[in-house]
Amino acid sequence: MIHEIIFYGRGGQGAVTAANILVEAAMYEGLNGQAFPFFGAERRGAPVTAFARVSDKPILKHGMFNTADILVVFDHGLISSGVVSRVRLRRNGVLIVNTPEQELDLSRIAAEGGFKAYTVDATRIAHDLKLVIAGWPVVNTAMLGALVGAVKLASIENVKKAIVNYFGEKAGAVNAQAAERAYGEVKLVKEV
């Protein structure tokens, strides 16, 4: 099994960090992984893409991909703006979107077949826990919790362990709390 995951976010939301933490959590599970970013001019708010692969076998593929098993969208505005339409979800794929809405317009999601759509209000979680930098809610760890709540790539315990390892004890504790909350709050809203 190999899972190819694309994280779409805006600069400052932590998409690249999320991909790296996911791979570390998967390694705690005894799996193999790789993560890497793609972004243009670095600035807060600009679209950012990060890629991850997780597999039970060594990963021989390298480089970006535009068809994914899992698509994690940190800002639902990236769907309506068409940014996310550049990639395709594989048949039986999973879409996870940070939004306060329960209804999603999935007309701009390109897919090879049926998929499941999940939502979580990671922005609210970030605000509640004061995970805000320069006025921007940092939703990456909440979105990781939602990801492993929807797709069992790693346990929530190993995600929290990887978060604490990445951020250190103090910042890690509150970020792990964000992951735990999103893990419990992620909702399946549609099967297409």
Instruction: Give the structural domain span for 77.
Output: 2-191
Cα–Cα distance for residue pair 144/182, rounded to 1 Å: 8
How much is the average pLDDT of 144-157? Answer: 97
What single DSSP character describes residue 59? -
In a 13 Å sphere around the CA of 171, the CA atoms on its Cβ side amount to: 11
Cα–Cα distance for residue pair 164/153, rounded to 1 Å: 18
- The count of domains in the chain is 1
- The enclosing domain of 100 has a CATH number of 3.40.920.10
Share of the chain above pLDDT 70, in %: 97
Tens-place pLDDT, residues 89-107: 999 999 999 999 878 889 9
- Residues 6 or more apart in contact with residue 169 via CB below 8 angstroms: none
pLDDT at 44 over 80: no
pTM: 0.95
